[in-house]
Structure formats: C-alpha cells, structure tokens
Amino acid sequence: MLKRHSGFFKNLLFLSDLLLISGCWLAAYFIRFSAPIFPVTKGIPPIEPYLWLLFPILFVWGICFASLNLYRPRRMGSHLAEFVDLAKANTLCILILVALSFFLKTFEFSRLVILYFWVLNLGVLGFSRMVFREIMRLLRRLGYNQRHVVVIGAGALGQRLVQTLQAHPELGMDVRGYLSRNEAKVGQVLEGIPVLGTFDQAGAFLTPQVDVVFLCLPPAAEGEAERLMKILSTMTAEVKIIPSIYEFITLRAEAEIFSGLPIITLQGSPLYGWNLFLKRCFDVAGALVALGLTLPLMGLIAVHIKMTSSGHVLYRQKRVGLDGRSFEIIKFRTMVLNAESET
C-alpha cells in the first residue's frame, strides 16, 4: 500500500543529504585554506571551530529541508523543478548560517568558506538527487517500486491519461482498471486496460491495495464528483484530479494556487517576461549575423536597382505588429516610384 512518504527511501535520502552536507562543509574549508583560489592573508584558522559549527549546520539543514517538503515523492516531477526547490532551501539555510556566524562573536568564520559551501551544496546535492531519481526510474522500468492505479472516468480524458502513463514506465504507475459512469462500458478493454465497474461500485474496487486514484471526470459527470470524493476521503490512496477543461485547452496552460484555490491560467503565447527578453536578444543577434553574411549580396542588389531605375534604393512601409502597434520596415524597392499612388 502506498505511503505518503516511503519511509525507507525518505530516510535514505535524508541521511545521504546530511552526509553530503558534512562533506561539502569540510571541502569548503580545505578549498579555502589548503588550495586557496584567493590568497590567505590572515593565516590559516584552526579547523575545530568549523567542526563544532557542523552540528548546528546539520540541524538547520535537516529541519529546513524537511519543513520545505524536499523529501516528498517526485514520480512525476522534473529534475529542474527539484533543483529549484533545493536551491531555494539551500539559500535560506545559508542566510541562517550567515546570521548564526554573525552572532558567534568568539570566532570569525571565513565568508569565502560559506560561499564555497553554498556552491558545493548546490552542485553536490543537485547531482546526488538526480542520480537518486534516475536509479529509482530504472528500478521502476524493471518492474520494481510500482504503484497500483485506478482511473475514475473511462472517457477521452481518462484514456489519454492511461496512454501517457503507459508511455512512461519510469513513473512506475501500474494501471489496474477504469471505473465508468456508463454501465455499458463495464467489461470492455480500453487501451489494454479493463473497465472494472461503474461509479456506484467504487467502494468495492477501491480497495487498500490501490495506491493512486486519478479522477478524470467529463463535464457531464462532474455532478458525481462530490459523492466520489466522499468515498475517496475514507481511503489511504493518493488522489490526483485532472480537470476536464484540459480536454479543450489549446492554449498554453499554467496551474497555480491562490489562497487555497486552484487557478488555471491560459496564454496563447509564451512570449512574456524573460521569454520575451530572450527572444528579443535572439532576434537582434540573429539579425546582426544575417546582415553580416548578406551584406555583399545586398550591396549588389542596391547597385542593380540604382542602375536600372531612378529614385531611392530603399523603401519604407508601415506594418502592424504586436498589440496592434504600427512600425516601419525598410526593404529594397522592387517597383517604380510612387507605384501606390497610381493604383
């Protein structure tokens, strides 16, 4: 049966983190004073105070990592998302460490040691987490560490979910069957998975052996969600809800939580914020490279236009761009002068 936090793997990861954090702290000390990147001007301090500080470091890091939920299951999470969470937690712990070292007036700890420690923690813990997750994914591909899944909803959304889960065996999601509100579907096999029963029979099929339940209700069946949620609330299984709106979403969607309310934001274009800035940089750099490569050819085109026609070589024209704003483009003239006024 699925546990909210797998005790063995959680403890293994926790102890591994503490061991690596200890190694990073000692490595930061030796990098600073035994293989200094920057010259040591005040002499090499004794290592004992740094060893004593290791105990509060492990306490702070352990409490923060556990409080920030860094040991939750991440079957469906990405390496990048985990690294971002790890970086935030590590930075918070470093700030606490800086404050702690400031109040310890009896000994002045090297700020470079703390900086090296932060960098080493990010790299070492990030890499160790990635290796751990990849080992777990390999084990799941081999059939270990599986979770038994039941999908409530045998419509297009539920079948799409099953297709996705089957395409990713590294998630270790073993789909046992569907539950459908349509009694005629009972006994059918959809995407290689049987329809076990109807919504009314949910209590009989959602046994303690079921680890994860996906709720994929079509809009017409959302009225039954409350009754199903009452049944699911009595179970120990993890419940994941896929909104039916995802069947109709063609724009880019992002989910966020606001004061406990789930909000789905739809955007037709990802060009905002940093994405817009990066695209602008890419456009300018690409334009400069293209201009440099085509400059000789454009020179020949300009000479040809001047030799075969009187008037300007370049032509200005107004176009409409983003948000309805107009702008001018400059291009080679390919028609006679004042051609627009003659039409």
The phi and psi torsions of 310 (rounded to 5 degrees) equal: -85, 160
CA 134 remoteness from chain centre: 16
C-alpha dihedral sign at 252, 254, 255, 257:
negative
CA-wise closest residue to 246 among 285, 273, 224, 214? 214
**b/e 122-156 (16+ beta carbons within 10 angstroms → b):** bebbbebbeebbeebbeebeeeeeebbbbbbbbbe
What is the Cα–Cα distance from 87 to 123, expressed in whole angstroms?
A: 10
The CA dihedral of 116, 122, 128, 131, to the nearest 10 degrees, is -130
pLDDT reported for residue 300: 87
Q: Give residue-wise pLDDT tens across range 306-316.
A: 788 777 778 77
Highest mean pLDDT among 103-112, 252-261, 292-301, 330-339 belongs to 292-301
What's the mean per-residue pLDDT of the chain? 81
pLDDT tens per residue, range 5-61: 467 888 889 999 999 999 999 999 888 877 767 666 676 777 888 888 889 899 999
By mean pLDDT, which of 28-32, 200-204, 264-268, 274-278 is the weakest?
Answer: 264-268
- Which helix H or strand E contains 150, and what residues bound it? strand 147-152
Residue 166 confidence (pLDDT) above 70: yes
Contact present, 181 and 195 (Cβ < 8 Å)? no
pLDDT value at residue 5? 42
Q: Please report the pLDDT score of residue 101 as a whole number.
A: 75
Q: For the chain, report the end-to-end CA distance as a whole number of angstroms.
A: 78
Backbone angles phi, psi at 98, to 5 degrees: -60, -45
**Parallel, antiparallel, or unpaired: how do β-strands 314-320 and 326-332 relate?**
antiparallel
> What is the rounded average pLDDT of the residues 290-318?
82
So where are the chain's domains? 7-141, 147-258, 274-332
Q: Which residue has the tokens 């290592």?
A: 47
| Predicted confidence (pLDDT) per residue in 323-339, tens digit | 667 878 888 777 666 66
Q: How far apart are CA 106 and CA 112, in angstroms?
A: 18
Which of these CATH numbers, 3.40.50.720, 3.40.50.300, 1.10.10.10, 3.40.50.2300, describes 147-258?
A: 3.40.50.720
Mean pLDDT of 139-154: 88
Q: What is the pLDDT of residues 279-288, one digit of tens each?
A: 778 888 888 8
Task: Compute the distance between CA of residue 230 and CA of residue 215 in angstroms, rounded to an integer.
Answer: 13
Residue 69: HSE in the Cβ half-sphere, 13 Å Cα cutoff:
5
Measured CA to CA in angstroms, residue 216 lies from 91, 155, 179, 219, 328 at distances of 38, 8, 10, 10, 50
